[in-house]
Amino acid sequence: MREEENFFENINDLFIQAFETDQGSLINSLQFEGDNFVEYETYSEGGIKEISLCTDRRTGRRVAMAFLKDNTDPQKTEAFLREAKINAALQHPNIVPIYEMGIDGDKPWFAMKFIAGKSLADIILKTKSLEEPDLDFTLNQRLDIFMKVCDAIAYSHSLGVLHLDIKPDNIRISNFGDVVVCDWGLADIEATICDEKLLEFCTILEHDINNQTLDGSVKGTPGYMAPEQTSLVKYRKACHTDIFSLGTLLYSLLTLEKPFKGFDINDIIKKTAKCDFIEPSKLDVNIPESLEAVCLKAMQLKPEDRYQSVEDLQKDIEAYRNGFATYAENASLFKLIKLMIYRNKLRSCLLFSLMSLIVILGFVFVRNLDLSKQFIQKENEKLLLEQELYRQRGKDSAPLFLEQAEQSLKIFALDSAMHFCKEALERDDQLKKAWKLKALLHFANEEYQLCIKAFESANIREGRLYKLAKTARNLELENSDKNKLNVRKDILQRLHKVKDMPTFSLLLHSIVHKEMPIEDRLDLCRFVIDLRHNRPKNEPFNFSYDPKNQTLDISNNPWIKIAHCLQNFPAKTINASNTSISRGSNFNNSPVESLDISNTQILELKSLKCKNLKELYVSGNIIHDISPLENLELVTLDISHTPIRYLNFIPKFTHLKNLIIHKGQFNKTQFRWKRPDLEIITKPRN
């Protein structure tokens, strides 16, 4: 039975219930116990979510319910909820509406309108394969569908929302001809034009959720993505990205083929990056020249060569449908006249037969031109007024962007902080606090001349950091590139001497995340560790690095408490046992696979962010919780001589092969969690 037939049966039951029961029955029907959504049946499955059909008991309608397949990954959960929030903010007839969202236990969901029908991809496939030869899918109907999709995307762009995954599979056509754009899972926010309420969904962190259709650094669908969505073209993703995908959609509607094809995904991506595709007219000679020109303009490699807005693209389609020349084809005078005659056959006959009307028509033309000038003048005045209003509103939003910059700075996302700081200054260049923050960011990035200019833009020509920026600039001018390490050490020492530790940490974070020769990196680490600690002169300093095995050993240095200079260190094995290091963040962003932090002062593992970690030794530490390690693919784990007394974590560590404990650490009942493939190694009790 078709879904709409089931819907009409539900409506019929509702009317029967309304007329055959007493007046309070409808009210009573809203007062029930249990779940509102019942009668689930599986419908489809995507990358991170599954879709089921269910019945809304309050309204009696069938709705589509989206569930997160894997709710153990907080990043996927954020991506799932972010999609629902963005989709819910879009209220348009051609965008699938979100009815409700919530959490079932710890599993998030959202309910949306169920579109009974087919995807545009299915219709194109059946039309191409002639499975349904009577399928009414004329060129005009294809353009109708395309224009409705453009309406939806133009609306989302007006709110600053980018879809970034426009393709036939994400467009559904109901059995009654409704066209809706679905699946906003890759949607992003254009921070510079979006509504302020949507700023919270703007991606600012480097560990943004990897919910792309294609795994890796590419976010999009091969065959329909824009060149800037590949990792091979360095253009910023914006509204022009969706415009390119609209061009690929128009290509498929005209030719019933994907624009980009290849032997494998890498081949398709390379062709996408070069805009290497077969022109539509070579696949079908009957494709109108004007529509091909529109398609090719939308699919230009450089964003500036494409349409500048979805509305401009729609205007060209409407021009074609109304018999006018499109802007994309750059039509000749002959074709313009030909189109005009074709549009006005009767008028053309009268024009050639009654030449006397030329004078009247000329007068009308001049009159209309004058009226157009007056209209344009009024529109220009209106535009200037709107621009002034927009400028004022933008100035009011500058503190919000500054707040975003400050939040990014707290988590050391320096690039994001600089981006939002610039946005704040574009809206209000008199915001002194933003100039000071910009100066600090330039200092952290070792851009000392820009730091000085930013301070001077804020009318600050005194102060320790301003003077230090001048000193650093002069030191760089005096020293060659070979002595850059000495300049860095000098500036770090000056900051440490005046106890400006926030700026010291920012500069050190920026330096260690830049590439430098391993000899300079080792020299810098020894220098910073010595600088941060009052090591007695006779106290030995164990610091050795084996470049062949990429092994770093700083063990048996009980006086070392802070070693943030080891972040992003190019070592696969690090031994930091028998030190006083208290934070796992000292080793973050490094490619370390084996880490020994036994007998240190580390009390928790939440701050440890080493995604390649395979071996971890935490023996002798006061650590109670190892749940922050669940997302790592640990093979060996040493928890001997720790307060951990339960082994119920083992099922969550699916890759664990070796577990090291001490004698008597666990009672016999705890060993029921042991897997057959897990070897437990027992050390003697201290």
Tell me, what amino acid is at 620?
G
Q: Is 50 exceeded by the pLDDT of residue 232?
A: yes
Segment 111-131 mean pLDDT? 86
CATH number of 65's domain: 3.30.200.20
Which backbone phi and psi does 502 adopt, to 5 degrees?
A: -60, -45
Last-in-domain residue among 113, 136, 171: 113
Segments forming the whole domain that contains residue 451:
404-514
For residues 285 and 419, state if they share a domain. Answer: no
Q: Which two tokens stand for residue 280?
A: 């539509």
Q: How many domains does the chain have?
A: 5
The Cα-based distances of 218 to 181, 306, 567 in angstroms read 22, 21, 27
For residues 148 and 264, state if they share a domain. Answer: yes
Please give the pLDDT value at position 161: 92
Please give the pLDDT value at position 217: 45
For residue 40, the tally of other CB atoms under 10 A from its CB is 13
pLDDT (tens digit per residue) in 26-37: 676 666 665 788
For residues 270 and 136, state if they share a domain. Answer: yes
Calculate Rg over the CA atoms of the chain.
33
Tell me, what amino acid is at 452?
I
Q: Is 90 exceeded by the pLDDT of residue 479?
A: no
d(CA 17, CA 22): 9
Q: Is 90 exceeded by the pLDDT of residue 196?
A: no
Band of pLDDT at residue 382, cut at 50, 70 and 90: confident
Q: Is 70 exceeded by the pLDDT of residue 200?
A: no
Tell me, what amino acid is at 493?
Q
For residue 24, the tally of other CB atoms under 10 A from its CB is 9
CB 273 within 8 A of CB 229: no
Closest CA to 309 of 162, 167, 90: 162
Tell me, what amino acid is at 165?
D
**348, part of any domain:** no
**266, part of any domain:** yes
| Choice among 85-89, 163-167, 328-332, 667-671 with the minimum mean pLDDT | 328-332
Strands 117-119 and 171-174: antiparallel
Closest CA to 561 of 583, 538, 540, 588: 583
For residues 286 and 139, state if they share a domain. Answer: yes
d(CA 248, CA 251): 5
pLDDT (tens digit per residue) in 343-364: 666 676 766 667 667 777 777 7
Which backbone phi and psi does 27 adopt, to 5 degrees?
A: -65, -40
Segment 542-570 mean pLDDT? 92
For residues 441 and 487, state if they share a domain. Answer: yes
For residues 259 and 366, state if they share a domain. Answer: no
d(CA 678, CA 686): 24
| Average pLDDT score, the chain | 84
Please give the pLDDT value at position 368: 79
Tell me, what amino acid is at 561?
K
For residues 446 and 471, state if they share a domain. Answer: yes
Please give the pLDDT value at position 393: 59
Taking the model in full, what pTM does it have?
0.48
**13, part of any domain:** yes
For residues 83 and 133, state if they share a domain. Answer: no
Please give the pLDDT value at position 234: 83
Q: Is 60 exceeded by the pLDDT of residue 201?
A: no
For residues 288 and 166, state if they share a domain. Answer: yes
Locus of tokens 């003048």: 377
For residues 417 and 499, state if they share a domain. Answer: yes
Reduced to 3 states (helix: H, G, I; strand: E, B; else coil), residue 98 is strand
pLDDT (tens digit per residue) in 258-269: 999 988 899 999
d(CA 522, CA 528): 10
Q: Tell me, what DSSP letter sits at residue 513?
A: T
Q: Is 80 exceeded by the pLDDT of residue 66?
A: yes
Last-in-domain residue among 113, 137, 168: 113
Q: Which two tokens stand for residue 377?
A: 């003048």
For residues 146 and 291, state if they share a domain. Answer: yes
**27, part of any domain:** yes
Last-in-domain residue among 472, 496, 514: 514
CATH number of 269's domain: 1.10.510.10
pLDDT (tens digit per residue) in 602-661: 999 998 989 999 999 999 999 999 999 999 999 999 999 999 999 999 999 999 999 999
Q: Is 80 exceeded by the pLDDT of residue 492?
A: yes
Q: Tell me, what DSSP letter sits at residue 48?
A: S
For residues 372 and 412, state if they share a domain. Answer: no
Locus of tokens 């050795």: 544
**244, part of any domain:** yes
**314, part of any domain:** yes
